[in-house]
Amino acid sequence: MGKMNFSGVEEEVITREEFPLEKARQVLKDEVVAVLGYGTQGMAQSLNMRDNGINVIVGLKEGRSWEKALKDGWQPGKNLFSIEEAARRGTVIQYLLSDAAQKMVWPVVKECLNEGDALYFSHGFSVVYKDQTGVVPPKNVDVILVAPKGSGASVRANFLDGSGINSSFAVYQDYTGRATERTLALGIAIGSGYLFRTDFEHEVYSDLVGERGILMGALAGVMEAQYNTLRKYGHTPSEAFNETVEELTQSLIRLVAQNGMDWMYSNCSTTAQRGALDWRHRFRNATLPVFEELYQSVRSGEETWNVLEANSAPDYREKLEAELKDIRDSEMWQAGAVVRSLRPENWKKG
């Protein structure tokens, strides 16, 4: 296992060179990996492992996800079962249902665990907030985590193009003495580019803050603020959207990903450079109190309580669709739909 130094902090990082796929296959050769759930992570991780030659089965209740699994080639009675049956057959149980569903199904899954099994998560939610979820693993199983740092769609797409996606890993409980080896093997088998060590608490805290913050909540909020300001002062929807979203997503963020923010500053006009450097501090200082409040809300369990309460409501999907429709129908994202249609790759061939 390798060590990498990040700004004076030494971290444990495992690459595919250090833990190749053949080693992962050897570690997992006698395992039956039961993936419970077929949302974006369940689908991506199960398909990637199947393609990598791992003995995988999927556990689902019949419905939309079951139909989707059938289309992906999973066969009932062979490698597609009910949640309970898959959990009984598996030696590694990948618990990849939604957080709310994990709470509801846990009494069934718990009864299916055998001594020496591995209970695998891709999110620390259920275990860390056990007072809210009731998910308390038995003492005679390994409890492990591999958390890809991207959506399930990215996990699958990156696997197919050979690049992989970075993942964190953690061991919460090592009953067999093989928990770390199993975790790393599973991380490689699902297609991770490299793995870095964390623990369940740090994973769920960073994940919940990131989703609510820069990855989605903050990004959407600041986009709306800039777009609305430009529109207020007479800029057209097209101009406001291009300056707010299109240039960011189609040009700048790709360059930042490839080269870093310092390179971006060094390779723009002097006017953009000076203004961005000056206003950077204003935006950081303005949002820092919001991020502090967000972190405390995550750590206290308030955010998870809100999630579980909302997701268990009988009209949750109807309310969710209304919220998403509000975004979709807003002028900003209606303008976005038009702008996206005008991208060169969408032009009709003559």
**How far is Cα 179 from Cα 173, in angstroms, rounded to an integer?**
8
Tokens read off for 249: 């997503």
Residue 59 DSSP SS3: strand
| pLDDT tens-digit series, residues 199-231 | 999 999 999 999 999 999 999 999 999 999 999
The stretch 97-106 carries a mean pLDDT of: 92
Predicted confidence (pLDDT) at residue 350 exceeds the cutoff of 50: no
The half-sphere exposure of 340 on its side-chain side, counting CA atoms within 13 A, is: 8
Tokens read off for 141: 């199983």
CATH of 210-346, one of 2.40.160.60, 3.40.50.1100, 1.10.1040.10, 2.60.40.420: 1.10.1040.10
Q: Are 2-198 and 210-346 the same fold in CATH?
A: no
What pLDDT sits at residue 1? 58
Residues designated catalytic:
123
Backbone torsions φ then ψ of 172, nearest 5 degrees: -90, -35
**How far is Cα 34 from Cα 254, in angstroms, rounded to an integer?**
36
Task: Tell me what percent of the residues of the chain surpass a pLDDT of 90.
Answer: 84
Backbone torsions φ then ψ of 56, nearest 5 degrees: -120, 140
What pLDDT sits at residue 9? 72
DSSP 190: T
Residues contacting residue 74 through CB under 8 Å, at least 6 positions apart: 46, 58, 80
| Beta carbons of 113 and 138 less than 8 angstroms apart | yes
| pLDDT tens-digit series, residues 153-197 | 999 999 999 888 999 999 999 999 999 999 999 999 999 989 999
Domain spans of the chain?
2-198, 210-346
- Name residue, tokens 């002028």: 331
**How far is Cα 121 from Cα 99, in angstroms, rounded to an integer?**
10
The stretch 278-291 carries a mean pLDDT of: 96
Q: What is the pTM of this model?
A: 0.84
Query: How many Cβ atoms from other residues are within 10 Å of residue 155's Cβ?
Result: 26
CATH T-level topology, domain 2-198:
Rossmann fold (3.40.50)
